Amino acid sequence: MRYDIRNQLVTRDGQVTVEIDAPAPPGTDAEFAGNVTGRITLRNVGGEIAAWGRLQATVLMKCARCLEVHEVPLSFDFTESCAFEQIDEPLAYTQIADDEEPSTIPILDGEVVDLSELVRQLLVLHVPARSVCRADCPGLCSHCGARLASSSCECEQETIDPRLAPLRKLLQ
Ligand SMILES: [Zn+2]
Ligand SMILES: [Zn+2]
């Protein structure tokens, strides 16, 4: 996600908008289907580079109930503060934390503007912690582990040991 736009941003109020259409950067701890797309506007606001725009991506998530991998579309607006600082991968990868003080995001790789760290942090923030393949996913049979949505297991008729009933409730 490298863009030769530094010259347009070095003076105060310099502004440029770029189209994003590239694979998700590494380090998101998630798998994506297809490219990250969208639009990011950068503006020199004096001392910092303000970045805002809209991104779309499709993340592959495991269903929290039946473990089936399914696509979850993401689409979000954002506003962030960036800075002309070098992306230092090992540092940047540990820098993000939900409850951390907001810090500026580095966007320089050599002399070239590289938006991958910005996009990576945004994706990390917006990938849901948990997802189900469909709202009424019945999950897995607690006896045989079959996916109840796509297979009929033989366990349905069994009576549940009352001592295990609360556990079964938890698993549903
Ligand atoms: Zn499911
Ligand atoms: Zn079963």
Cα of 152 from ligand 1 centre, angstroms: 15
**Is residue 30 scored above 70 in pLDDT?**
yes
Q: Which 3 state secondary structure label does DSSP give 73?
A: strand
State in Å: Cα 128 to ligand 2 middle: 29
Measured in angstroms, how far is the CA atom of residue 93 from the centroid of ligand 1?
31
In this prediction, residue 148 has a pLDDT band, given cuts at 50, 70 and 90, of: confident
pLDDT of the residue at 89? 62
Residue 161 pLDDT class (50, 70, 90 cuts): low
What is the number of the ligand closest to the CA of 63? 1
- Using the predicted structure, report yes or no on whether residue 92 has a pLDDT greater than 70: no
Distance between Cα 65 and ligand 1 center (Å): 5
The number of the ligand nearest the C-alpha atom of 141 reads 2
Q: Which ligand neighbours the alpha carbon of 156 most closely?
A: 2
Burial of 106 (0-12, 13-18, 19+ CB in 10 A): buried
Contact residues for 161 (Cβ-Cβ < 8 A; gap 6+) = none
Confidence of residue 90 (pLDDT cuts 50, 70, 90): low
Give pLDDT, residue 106: 92
How many angstroms does the Cα of residue 117 sit away from the middle of ligand 2? Answer: 45
Record the pTM.
0.80
- pLDDT for the residue numbered 3: 95
Pairing of strands 31-32, 49-62: antiparallel
The whole-number average pLDDT for the span 29-55 is 96
pLDDT for 171 equals: 63
Q: Are the CB atoms for 85 and 106 separated by under 8 Å?
A: yes
pLDDT value of residue 103: 79
Nearest CA among 136, 108, 129, 140 for reference residue 4: 108
Q: Give the ranges where the chain is alpha helix by DSSP (H).
A: 89-95, 116-126, 165-171
- For residue 123, the CA-to-ligand 1 centroid distance in Å is 23
CA dist 4 → 27, 74, 109 (Å): 23, 27, 11
